[in-house]
Amino acid sequence: MATSSSETAQRAVQARSRILQHIYQTPLIPARKTGQDCNAKLFFKAENFQHTGSFKLRGAMSKVSAQNTQGRLITASSGNHGIGAAFAAHALSKDVTVVLPTIVVPAKLEKIKSFGVNVILHGAEAGMAEQHAQQLAASGNYVYMSPYNDPEIIAGQGTIGLEIIEQCDQVDNIFISMGGGGLIGGIGSVMKTFSPRTKIYGVAAINSKALAASMSAGHVVEVEHNPTLAEAVAGGIDEDTITLPLAKSVVDQVLECDEAEIIKALQALAFDENMIVEGSAALALAGFMKVAQQLSGQANVVVLCGGNVGNEVLKGFMSNC
């Protein structure tokens, strides 16, 4: 199942033609204030405006619409992939079951249920939900759909890169949050294939950094998972995930951000850019803010991966203002 960056980029081109009528080509929005103090040109790829509030719709729609996808599907999610899978199942009349951790944001849970799919709550974090979904699939009653460890899922996320290249004449740097690796693997593959001069920054949450730690070690490693505002990128990764070698081949630099830096980025987006996003989206901006002084005169893109933020999270970071 291993795939190269060039193969992934070509799959993204194919996926785009299949999913185009079902997704929103999100805008590339110039920053109002962020980056100005260091003369860095900044744009936000606003996947928070996607139909489901997250980039995950692209991968799910790519997988569910692929010709080789057959049978009753089961998947796992911290919320956003589940919403995307439910949306895709509803749009394409497919049978999908979504396994979610018990900590899923209530607003995300309600969105998933609204599409009429089967929902199972299991485990304290996304990794445990994935293991349960895989076990149910191993029984033979379902076909497992990974939220990240699948060439078609990764290709769907890569369509974001195709849009960015069309929307911006020059991209010097792109900042992408890292969870399971499907987003950075997809976008990174597209950029390295069609815009090789673009530097790819992967941004990890210190409190749950399975992919970053595995990239450093050269193989999948277990890490401690602590609560993080970037809950959509929390959790472990599959032992055989194709996203690890793919990320290692396309990511130029990994940045790690703590909760205080994520809060600062959430506040910058809310008060300087008039955008409310979830912590995993702010994580990418936190990475940019960490190195912004080094990027004077350069064109930068921060991928805002989602905007499905719960009221409790909003109250939490607003109270720190």
For residue range 6-39, what is the model confidence (pLDDT) as tens digits? 999 999 999 999 999 999 999 999 999 999 999 9
pLDDT reading at 127 higher than 80: no
Pairing of strands 299-304, 41-46: parallel
So what's the pLDDT on residue 317? 58
Q: Which of 68, 108, 101, 66 is nearest to 87 (CA)?
A: 108
More confident residue, 6 or 70: 6
Amino acid occupying residue 223: V
| Residues 175, 158: Cα–Cα separation, whole Å | 14
So what's the pLDDT on residue 232? 86
| Phi, psi torsion values for 123, nearest 5 degrees | 90, 160
pLDDT reading at 105 higher than 90: no
Domain ranges for the chain, please list them.
5-55+151-318, 56-145
pLDDT reading at 276 higher than 60: yes
So what's the pLDDT on residue 3? 82
321 pLDDT band, cuts 50/70/90, is: low
Tokens coding 216: 């450093």
For residue range 212-226, what is the model confidence (pLDDT) as tens digits? 999 999 999 999 989
Instruction: Indicate if the alpha-carbon torsion angle 152, 308, 301, 241 is positive or negative.
Output: negative
pLDDT reading at 295 higher than 60: yes
Pairing of strands 41-46, 28-30: antiparallel
**Quick one: what percent of the chain has pLDDT higher than 90?**
82
Is there a shared CATH topology between the 5-55+151-318 domain and the 56-145 domain?
A: yes
So what's the pLDDT on residue 310? 66
So what's the pLDDT on residue 30? 98
Amino acid occupying residue 258: D
| Residues 249, 203: Cα–Cα separation, whole Å | 16
**Collapsed DSSP state (helix, strand, coil) of residue 22:** helix
Pairing of strands 118-121, 253-257: unpaired
316 pLDDT band, cuts 50/70/90, is: low
Q: Which of 154, 105, 108, 99 is nearest to 127 (CA)?
A: 99
Q: What is the mean pLDDT of residues 130-155?
A: 93
So what's the pLDDT on residue 2? 64
| Residues 48, 55: Cα–Cα separation, whole Å | 7
Average the pLDDT over each of 65-79, 88-102, 149-163 and give the range with the smallest value: 65-79
So what's the pLDDT on residue 312? 63
Residues whose CB falls within 8 Å of the CB of residue 169, separated by 6 or more in sequence, listed in order = none
106 pLDDT band, cuts 50/70/90, is: confident
For residue range 143-180, what is the model confidence (pLDDT) as tens digits? 999 999 999 999 999 999 999 999 999 999 999 999 99
**CATH pick for 5-55+151-318 out of 3.40.50.1100, 3.40.50.620, 3.40.190.10, 3.40.1160.10:** 3.40.50.1100
Tokens coding 197: 């001069």
Evaluate whether 80 touches 100 at the Cβ level (below 8 Å).
Answer: no
Query: Where are the alpha helices (H) located in 66-141, listed in sequence order?
Result: 80-92, 106-114, 126-138
Q: Which of 85, 132, 91, 131 is nearest to 111 (CA)?
A: 85
**Collapsed DSSP state (helix, strand, coil) of residue 21:** helix
**CATH pick for 56-145 out of 2.40.128.20, 3.40.50.1100, 3.90.1170.20, 3.30.450.20:** 3.40.50.1100
- State the pTM of this model: 0.93
Tokens coding 89: 């199942």
Q: Strand (E) positions, the chain?
A: 28-30, 41-46, 73-76, 96-100, 118-121, 143-145, 173-177, 199-205, 253-257, 299-304
| Residues 116, 94: Cα–Cα separation, whole Å | 11
pLDDT reading at 235 higher than 90: no
Q: What is the DSSP letter of 31?
A: P
Evaluate whether 186 touches 1 at the Cβ level (below 8 Å).
Answer: no
Look at phi and psi of residue 35 and say left if phi exceeds 0, alpha if psi is from -120 to 50, else beta. Answer: left
Other CB atoms within 10 A of residue 140 CB: 7
| Residues 184, 190: Cα–Cα separation, whole Å | 10
